Structure 1
Amino acid sequence: MSTHPSFLNRYGPWALVTGASDGIGQSFAVALARRGMDVVLVARRREKLESLAQKMRQEHSVQCRVVAADLTTAEGLAAVLEATSELEVGLAVCAAGFGTAGPFLDGDLDNELNLLQLNCGATTALSWHFGKRLATRGQGGLILLSSIVAFQGVPRSAHYAASKAYVQTLAEGLQLEWRGRGIDVLAVAPGPVNTGFASRSQLNMGKAESPDVVAEQSLKGLGRGGTVRPGMLSKLLGYSLAMTPRWGRTRIMGLVMRGMTRHQHA
C-alpha cells in the first residue's frame, strides 16, 4: 500500500466516490486507494462495484464499501447517506453524471430531466450533506466534475453544457465560502475523456484524455486552487478560448459539437 500521510491526514480516512463503476469515477477510486484511503463506491451497477472493491482490497489493502444506488431518486440518495452515517468521510468526489448531444428538440425529455437530476440535483444534495459533515469535522474536501463545456453555451449539447455550468458555478462559490471552514473545494473541468460517456451521449470523439490522468491531476490540484483543467487537451482548449468573447466561444464550440454529432444524421 502506498501511503500519503499529509493527504490522509487532511482527507482521510474515508472517501466517497460516486459514478465509481467506470470512467473517471473508477479512476478516482483507484487513485484514492493508492493513497491509502478507504473508499465508499457508489453507482447503479452492484456487480461492477463489487469487482472493483475486491481488486482494490487485494492491491491496496484498503477497506471498501459498496452502495448500489440510483442517485436520481430520493431513495438512492438516502441509501448513500445511511451507508456512510457511521464513517468518517473526509473527501467526497461527485463524479456521477452523463451527457446528451444533438439537437435539443430531437432529444427525449425524460432523459434530459434525469440528466438534470443527476448532474445538478444529486450533486447539490451530496454537497450539502457532506459539506455539513466536513464543516463539523473542521477539514476535508469536495470534488465536483465540471467540464470544458461549462464556460459557454454549446449548441447541440446545450443542456449538458448548462448542467456543467451549474456545477462549475457551484464549486467556485463554495470554494471561497468554505475556505474558512477548512474545506477544500475543487472543480474539475476536463476536455474529451476516453470513457463510456461518448457512446451514451452519441458523440464521435477524436483524441481523448485518459481518465487516470484526470483523476491524478485533480487530486494533485486539490487544495491548491478552485479549478483544475486536467490533461493537455483541456488546457489547450481552455486557454486557446480564454481570450475569445463568450459569444465567440459559443460559436466555436457549436462548430466542434456539430462535427462530433454529424454521424447522428448521416
Structure 2
Amino acid sequence: MNRDDRLRERYGPAALVTGATSGIGRAIATELARAGFDLVLAARRKPVLQDLAHELTTRHGISVRVLALDLAGDRGAEELLAATAGTDLGLYVAAAGFGTSGAFLDADPAVEREMLRLNCETVLTTSLGFGRRLAGRGRGGLVLMSSLVGFQGMPHAAHYAATKAYVQTLAEALHVELRPHGVDVLAAAPGPTHSGFAGRAGMRMGTALTPETVARGTLSALGRRPTALPGLLTRVLKAALLPLPRRGRVRIMGSVMAGMTGHPR
C-alpha cells in the first residue's frame, strides 16, 4: 500500500488544516489534496484561502471548504470547533503559528501573548476538542507543529522556543494516551524552513528546508512514530546537537539565532 492509500484509509475522508494560506500549512494541504482528501482550510486571509481552494479543487477534483478565522483571537479555537461540528474529519493538522525573535526584555507583551494564544492555547483547545471527536470515531490523526528549537532553550527567540517545547511535550504524551482510542498523534519538528514564518520573526534564512519537504516527511511519519524530523537538514542538526549537554545546546542555538537575526551574542 502506498503512502496516499494508507493515509486515506486511516484518516479519510476529510482533513482540516490550519495556517493553510502559506508555508508548511499550505504544503500539507496540497499533499493531502493530491492524496484524495476532501479539505477544510482555516486561516485569516479569506481571498487567499479561496484561491487555494479553487486551485486544489480544479487540480485534484476534491471538495474544499474555507473558514476565515483568527485563531489567535479570544474565541478563535471555539469558533473553529463549532464550524466543523458537522463534518466527518479524520485528520487535524495544527499548522497555524508564528514566531518572534530578539532580546526577551525588548519584546512587545501584546505580540508575545498573541503568539502564546496561537501556538499553545489554540493547540490545547483544538487538540482536546478534535481529540475527543476522533476518539469517539474510533480512528483518526492529530498533527501538531513543533520545531527543532523546542528541544532546548533558544536565546534570542526564548519565548518562541518555549511555545514549541509545550507543543512537543503535549504531542508526545497524547501519542501514548490516544493510541488506545485509535488516534495517532504526531509532533512535526522541522529545522529551519523557508516560509512566511522567518519574515515575521525577523530572521534571515540561509540553508533551509522547503515547506514541501517538511510536508512530505511529516505525512510519511504519521502513524509510525511520535515525532517527525522531516528533511535531511533537520536530522543532521538534531544529530549534531544530541551528544552535547543541554546547556551546550542552548548556547549553540543562541549563537545560531543571533547570526540569523543580527542580534548581538
Q: Which residue of 1 aligns with 2:132?
A: 132
Within the alignment, does 1:249 sit opposite 2:249 as a pair?
yes
Matched-pair contact (CA < 8 Å) for 2:156–2:263: no
C-alpha separation in 2, matches of 1:7 and 1:95: 18
Q: Which residue of 2 aligns with 1:95?
A: 95
C-alpha separation in 2, matches of 1:199 and 1:124: 26
SS of the aligned residue for 2:67 comes to strand
C-alpha separation in 2, matches of 1:244 and 1:36: 43
Paired residues for 1:220-239 under 5 Å = 220-239=220-239
Q: Which residue of 2 aligns with 1:18?
A: 18
1:243 is displaced (CA, Å) by 1.3
C-alpha separation in 2, matches of 1:94 and 1:129: 12
1:5 is displaced (CA, Å) by 3.2
Paired residues for 1:23-62 under 5 Å = 23-62=23-62
Within the alignment, does 1:110 sit opposite 2:110 as a pair?
yes
Q: Which residue of 2 aligns with 1:81?
A: 81
1:58 is displaced (CA, Å) by 0.3
Within the alignment, does 1:194 sit opposite 2:198 as a pair?
no
1:3 is displaced (CA, Å) by 9.3
Within the alignment, does 1:162 sit opposite 2:165 as a pair?
no
Matched-pair contact (CA < 8 Å) for 2:191–2:234: yes
Matched-pair contact (CA < 8 Å) for 2:33–2:56: yes
SS of the aligned residue for 1:52 comes to helix
Q: Which residue of 1 aligns with 2:143?
A: 143
Q: Which amino acid aligns with 2:79?
A: A
C-alpha separation in 2, matches of 1:119 and 1:42: 15
Q: Which residue of 2 aligns with 1:179?
A: 179
1:34 is displaced (CA, Å) by 0.5
The number of residues matched between the two structures is 264
SS of the aligned residue for 2:93 comes to strand
C-alpha separation in 2, matches of 1:177 and 1:163: 21
1:86 is displaced (CA, Å) by 1.1
C-alpha separation in 1, matches of 2:113 and 2:3: 41
SS of the aligned residue for 1:178 comes to helix
Q: Which amino acid aligns with 1:171?
A: A
Q: Which residue of 2 aligns with 1:72?
A: 72
Which runs of no fewer than 5 residues in structure 2 stay unpaired? Answer: none
TM-score by length of 2: 0.97
1:222 is displaced (CA, Å) by 0.4
Q: Over residues 15-45 of structure 1, what are the superposed CA-to-partner deviations in whole Å (9 max), with x where a residue is unaligned? A: 0100001100000101000110011000000
SS of the aligned residue for 1:4 comes to helix
**Mean Cα displacement is larger for which, 160-169 or 224-233?**
224-233
SS of the aligned residue for 1:186 comes to strand
**Mean Cα displacement is larger for which, 62-71 or 5-14?**
5-14
C-alpha separation in 1, matches of 2:156 and 2:238: 19
TM-score by length of 1: 0.96
SS of the aligned residue for 2:192 comes to coil
Root mean square deviation, CA, Å = 1.5
Which runs of no fewer than 5 residues in structure 1 stay unpaired? Answer: none
Q: Which ranges of 4 or more aligned residues in structure 1 deviate by more than 6 Å?
A: none
1:82 is displaced (CA, Å) by 2.4
1:263 is displaced (CA, Å) by 6.4
C-alpha separation in 2, matches of 1:253 and 1:189: 15
1:168 is displaced (CA, Å) by 0.2
